[in-house]
Structure 1
Amino acid sequence: MLEILELMPKKRPFWDQYVCQSPHGLPLHLSGWQDVMVQTYGYETRYLTAVSQDRIVGVLPLFFVCIPLVGSVVRTMPGGLCADSDAAAQALLAAGQAWAQQKRAKRFWLADSRICRPGDLQTTTAHVHWTLGVRGDEKTLWQQLDGNIRRQVRIAQRHGLTVELGRSGALLPVFYNVFARFAHQAGTPLFSRAFLENVVAVFPDGFHIVVVWQQKRPLAAYFQLEMAGTVYGMWGAALREFLPLRPVYLAYWEIMRYAGQCGYHTLDMGRSPAGSNAAKFKGQWGGTAHPVYQQIAHFGGQANGEANGRFQWVTDLWPWLPFPLAQFLGPKLRRHMPFA
């Protein structure tokens, strides 16, 4: 008998144990994100479990958000759902869509899923994520890199760039400042620093931050999550004017080296648009590309492409805004699109 139940606080350890042990589990499936989303944005959430014979066989983390010009949406955390079987997945999807219709949402969004779920869902695959094996000592990992990658890392080292890795949150202000500058240049409104502060507070042992320095100047910064045997690249940026110094190559090498030293077996380099320069860069490291699916059920709203097109003007305008104004407005916009 398969039951769909809402997560209760006392059941959180069982939820997280299931996610960590599942081959389909991702850090963003963990129950702590419910606290992050509520504390940062005040969202209404619903975390659903599929239970069979008193055992969790699937989880679906959902939140409800109103997006200007688009309407209200019930969506998952990036990563979609996590389930042992198609039956559990379909039961969770049915319950999630029922809640979306109850909330009169315009659409139900299974976001950034690693598995394409069958059913009456509009499916797109505009992104890929790259995974790279990192078993072995530093010498082994270095030798398995392509010769061009090693040359780029050495260029960064010859320019005197150094790397600092922290697991306490002390580097968070530096990371956020670099990321904010990059996001402004790229035309992307950025979430508030409070969002990341909440992530650090909820997952004190599940993250690390890497910063690439030229003396006292930060050139690049990356925020990773850690779970089970994998390090996951979440957010990262390098300032454009310093790209010739190759800080990105040095950062990725240090993340890879750290993962191997700590006993992780895989580095998930995060998602990028398929065919983009970012995707091609990640491919140079010798990993494997996997599709990332967006699956949407519409309840009277626009198709996804039409809705997304309404925000192109924001991307076009954003780099022209004064940086302080962009910093002020960004978190207000991202409240409606937290993982855009």
Structure 2
Amino acid sequence: MVVERFNGEAELAKHWDSFVAQCGNATFFHLSGWLQINQQVMGHKGHYLYASEQGNIVGVLPLVEQKSALFGHALISTPFCVYGGVASDSAEVRRKLEDAAIELAHKLQVDYLELRNKEASDNPRLTEKCAHSYFAWPLGEDPDAILAGVKKKQRAVIRHSLKNDLSFRVDKDTDTAYTVYSESVRNLGTPVFPKDYFKALKQVFTDNCNVLTVEHQGQPVSSVLNFYFRDQVLPYYGGGVPAARDLKSNDFMYYQLMCDARARGYQHYDFGRSKDDSGAYKYKKHWGMEPVSLHYQFHLVKARELPNLSPNNPKYQLFIKLWQKLPLWLSRTIGPLLSRYLG
């Protein structure tokens, strides 16, 4: 077994993605396209590693180096992704790649290595920090079955939204998705990503990426950019304008996404991660999905303690309050300068 580096070569990318497609614990975020996204859009250096035996890939580990005077120097698998770490069906391969990542982290002299494992590793050189959970469930056979699977109170909210003269469309309109999302995150006090990021996601992942937009009286009120992997749909970047709250259009949006995905043949819905006990966590649980802990694991190199870039960190509260007051155009201008280090 040898560990080698993948630098984006087209032929090797095909083999990488072919392995990811059939590997039991691989995710959408292990696909090779994220290397292009991180390097060309976000300006970070990729260190994608893979293990091979007799010329066949047996494990992959996407790693990206982030370096910022404000937020530190880290090697992460993978920025802007909820899942990461090693994808392999072999415990031996997993340990081999993790140890290679630790060696690389020391060579680069980063503050820390972060592996966003969906399943915990037993590598004694890694320290775990469980602060997030993900939510997922199987989709019912049709819209009625999907609605019946939702908790009673949330089901009533969805039924209310169905009476609010809302319509939706599914297409490749990343411009609208970005416009709605950027306003939504500004209102939360969070820097938004560059607009080119949304366009790049659609260009790189093509048919495995689309946008569902909800409109009221001809105006977009909610929108979500989605990924598709195997039999799953993953709503990833979603938000709504202020009117969405009264219209219940976000609830309408996620319900219609489930129905649309099921009609296309997808059988599972991955609602993504949320910080434990946060508002988003409680919202997703309200649908009836049970939280499953994520096992983010770290190896400290120069850092003396585990990182805490959470918006719940008290030292960021003043920044968040100030950011919420920024004009929207200004938040869209300066937000990308910060967000590329907050993925």
TM-score, length-scaled by structure 1: 0.92
Q: In the alignment, residue 330 of structure 1 is paired with which amino acid?
A: G
Tell me by how many angstroms 1:53 deviates.
3.6
Listed as ranges, the matches of 1:34-113 within 5 Å are 34-77=35-78, 78=81, 79-81=83-85, 82-111=87-116, 113=117
Tell me if the contact between 1:122 and 1:296 (Cα under 8 Å) persists in the aligned partners. yes
| Contact 1:45-1:62 within 8 A present in 2 as well | yes
The answer as to 2:153 corresponding to 1:158 is no
1:13-47, Cα deviation, whole Å (9 max, x unpaired): 11111111122111111001111111102321111
Q: How does 1:23-38 map to 2 (within 5 A)?
A: 23-38=24-39
Question: 2:149 aligned with 1:144, yes or no?
Answer: yes
2:303 is paired with a residue whose SS is coil
Distance of 2:308 and 2:276 partners within structure 1: 20
Residue in 2 that maps onto 1:14: 15
Letter in 1 for 2:95: Q
Given that residues 70 and 302 in structure 1 are in contact (C-alpha distance below 8 angstroms), is that contact kept between their aligned partners in structure 2? no
8 Å CA contact 1:138–1:261 kept in 2: the answer is: no
1:334 to 326, 332, 339: 339
The answer on 1:121 being equivalent to 2:126 is yes
Q: CA deviation at 1:210?
A: 1.1
Deviation at 1:276, TM superposition (A): 2.3
**Aligned CA distance change for structure 1 residues 311 and 60 (closer, same or farther; 3 Å):** farther
Give the match for residue 179 of structure 1.
181
* Distance in structure 1 (CA, Å) of the matches to 2:306 and 2:333: 28
Q: Any idea what SS the aligned residue of 2:97 has?
A: helix
Matched, 1:316 2:315: no
Residue type matched to 2:111 in 1?
Answer: K
After superposition, give the CA deviation of every residue in 1:132-171 in whole Å (9 maximum; x if it has no partner): 10141233323333343332122112221111111xx2x2
RMSD: 1.8
CA contact (8 A) 1:71 1:301 kept: no
Q: Which residue of 2 aligns with 1:3?
A: 2
Q: Secondary structure at the match of 1:218?
A: strand
> Does 1:133 find its partner at 2:168?
no
Identity %: 24
Q: 1:306 to 1:195 in 2, by over 3 A?
A: closer
Change in CA separation of 1:131 and 1:306 when aligned onto 2, cut-off 3 Å:
closer
Per-residue deviation, 1:247: 0.8
Asked if 1 retains the 8 angstrom alpha-carbon contact of 2:244 and 2:250, the reply is no
Once residues 312 and 97 of structure 1 are traced to their aligned partners in structure 2, the CA distance between those partners, rounded to angstroms, is 33
| Cα deviation, residue 315, structure 1 | 2.2
Mapped to 2, the partners of 1:145 and 1:63 lie a distance apart of 38
Letter in 2 for 1:204: T
Residue 218 (structure 2) pairs with residue 216 (structure 1): yes
Q: Work out the CA distance in 1 between the residues paired with 2:150 and 2:72.
A: 46
Distance 2:68 2:318 in 1: 16
Mapped contact 1:39–1:198 kept (Cα < 8 A)? no
CA distance in 2, matches of 1:139, 1:320: 42
User: 1:227-260: per-residue Cα shift (whole Å, max 9, x none)?
Assistant: 1111112111122443122112111111110121
Secondary structure class of the residue paired with 2:237: strand
Q: Secondary structure at the match of 2:207?
A: coil
